[in-house]
Amino acid sequence: MEGTIAGFLDASMFVFIEWSPFLRKENSVKKLVKGMLAGDVLSLSRLITRIERDGADVPGVMRELYPHLGKAYSIGITGPPGAGKSTLVDRLTAVIREQAATVGIIAADPTSPFTGGAVLGDRIRMQQHYLDDGVFIRSMATRGSHGGLPRSTGGVIKVLAASGKDFVLVETVGVGQTELDVMENVDTVVVILVPEAGDTIQTMKAGLFEIADIFVVNKADRPGADNLLTELSMMVQHYPKQSWWQVPVLATQAVNNVGIEELFKQIEKHRHALEGSGQLEQRRREQRRREFLETVERRVSDELLKLVEQNAEMGKYMDRVEAGEIDPYSAADEIMRPRAFLAGLSQQLSEERPTG
């Protein structure tokens, strides 16, 4: 689906349709959603592209998708580069497919020139699933050298869920802020480490323990794996997560297909624990709440920023800040302090904003 030729065709069709005034109407969000729900892979690809572009039509897309969410179970897989995430995702997908369940995969696709080789590597490793209708793979361009997933990943998980996939696997690199945010949007978080990471574990962020529902020591065929397993098992005792779930520490050899079925068993076990304790519903409620607040926050700040930029007072400060006459922090302090400034914006808002 994301193969070179299909990708090229998709991209060129996309450009053609986007720039053709005759076809643009036809290509409405509703039509794409309808196509996607009917199983059309191109519609699914296009909806994901729209969400990735993070444009003005995203709220419209999400509105159409919302009634169709619910059934998919999402699994986040995170760990340092080279830990074997892609290999493991590939093998886990095979195990899930044996159960006749369908899979959507979001893979971090490093675009940095320094890691460019990994793009092809990912594709080769996952190629056994490229021709499988029950698997949809989307590589998302990551920004910068850290390989962070874009903010839009949460939306992409939703499109894949709405398309009817039983499982959505999200592969991320590292534990930057975006990864932590993405991991808040998935149901089970698997953190992968490798024996080589033995030293880094000492300095490992507590954040990793907070997000991990399952720890995996991959490359268990390598020396040092036993030590890491013991160390991690001890550490998870010190970070008791919830009364209803004890974080397991598993050994895998993704490349040799060892331990993957056990991993899937533990994922299912975690799922049952989440469901049985009412936590799954609670987590979904929190996700919806966060999404609502974030959307409002974004809208409010967009609107306000527009007004602030037009504000005459603001213009004066901007000139002084740009000229280096006043530091940005003092300028922000000065302009925000008098209540009159905010009141003025509010006045402007009620005058300029059309209702509805």
Q: What are phi and psi of 128, to 5 degrees?
A: -60, -20
* Region from 85-93, 135-143, 267-275, 302-310 binding ligand GDP, contact rule CB under 6 A: 85-93
- Supply φ then ψ for residue 239, to 5 degrees: -115, 65
x-marked contacts with ligand GDP along 207-246 as a string, rule CB under 6 A: -----------xx-xx------------------------
Minimum distance from residue 147 beta carbon to ligand GDP (Å): 9
273 interacts with ligand GDP by CB under 6 A: no
* Closer to ligand GDP by Cβ: residue 256 or 301: 256
Total binding residues toward ligand GDP, as defined by CB under 6 A: 15
Instruction: Fill in the per-residue mask, 279 to 298: x = in contact with ligand GDP (CB under 6 A), - = not in contact.
Output: --------------------
Q: Which is nearer to ligand GDP, 161 or 260 (CB)?
A: 260
For 3, residues 6+ apart whose C-beta sits below 8 A from its C-beta are 123, 130
Of the residues 86, 93, 139, 188, which one makes contact with ligand GDP according to CB under 6 A: 86
Among 65, 83, 175, 267, binds ligand GDP (CB under 6 A): 83
Alpha-carbon distance values, 78 to 37, 94, 125 (Å): 29, 19, 17
User: How crowded is residue 265: how many other Cβ atoms within 10 Å of its Cβ?
Assistant: 13
Does 36 help bind ligand GDP (rule: CB under 6 A)? no
Position 87 contacts ligand GDP (CB under 6 A): yes
Among 1, 10, 74, 85, binds ligand GDP (CB under 6 A): 85
End-to-end CA distance of the chain: 40
Residue 85 and residue 171 in contact, taking contact as beta carbons nearer than 8 Å: yes
| For ligand GDP, the closer CB: 54 or 226 | 226
CB atoms within 10 A of CB 345: 17
In the complex with ligand GDP, which residue's Cβ is closer, 23 or 120? 120
Angle between helices 85-98 and 117-125 (to 10 degrees): 20
Q: Which of the ranges 25-33, 80-88, 156-164, 285-293 carries the binding residues for ligand GDP, by CB under 6 A?
A: 80-88
Q: Tokens in use for 168? A: 């959505």
The one among 149, 191, 193, 254 contacting ligand GDP by CB under 6 A: 254
Our finding on whether 255 is near ligand GDP (CB under 6 A) is: yes
Cβ-based neighbours of 158, under 8 Å, separated by 6 or more: 62, 65, 66, 69
Closer residue to ligand GDP in complex, CB, 85/165: 85
Which stretches of 195-278 are DSSP H helices?
A: 206-211, 225-238, 260-276
Q: Strand pairing of 188-193 and 73-79? A: parallel
Residue 318 sits at the vertex; the CA angle it makes with 316 and 319, to the nearest 5 degrees, is: 70
Which burial class, exposed, middle or buried, applies to 286 when counting CB atoms under 10 A from its CB (0-12, 13-18, 19+)? Answer: exposed
Question: Which range binds ligand GDP by CB under 6 A, 47-55, 79-87, 282-290, 293-301?
Answer: 79-87
Report in angstroms how near the CB of residue 172 gets to ligand GDP at its nearest: 10
* Chain residues 114-173 in contact with ligand GDP, contact rule CB under 6 A: 121
What minimum distance in Å lies between the beta carbon of 108 and ligand GDP? 8
Q: Does residue 84 belong to the site contacting ligand GDP (CB under 6 A)?
A: yes
Neighbours of 313 (CB within 10 A): 14
Q: In the 8-state DSSP scheme, what is residue 54?
A: T
* Chain position whose Cβ is nearest to ligand GDP: 84
Q: To the nearest whole angstrom, how small is the minimum distance from the Cβ of residue 105 to ligand GDP?
A: 12
* Residues forming the site for ligand GDP (CB under 6 A): 81-87, 121, 218-219, 221-222, 253-255
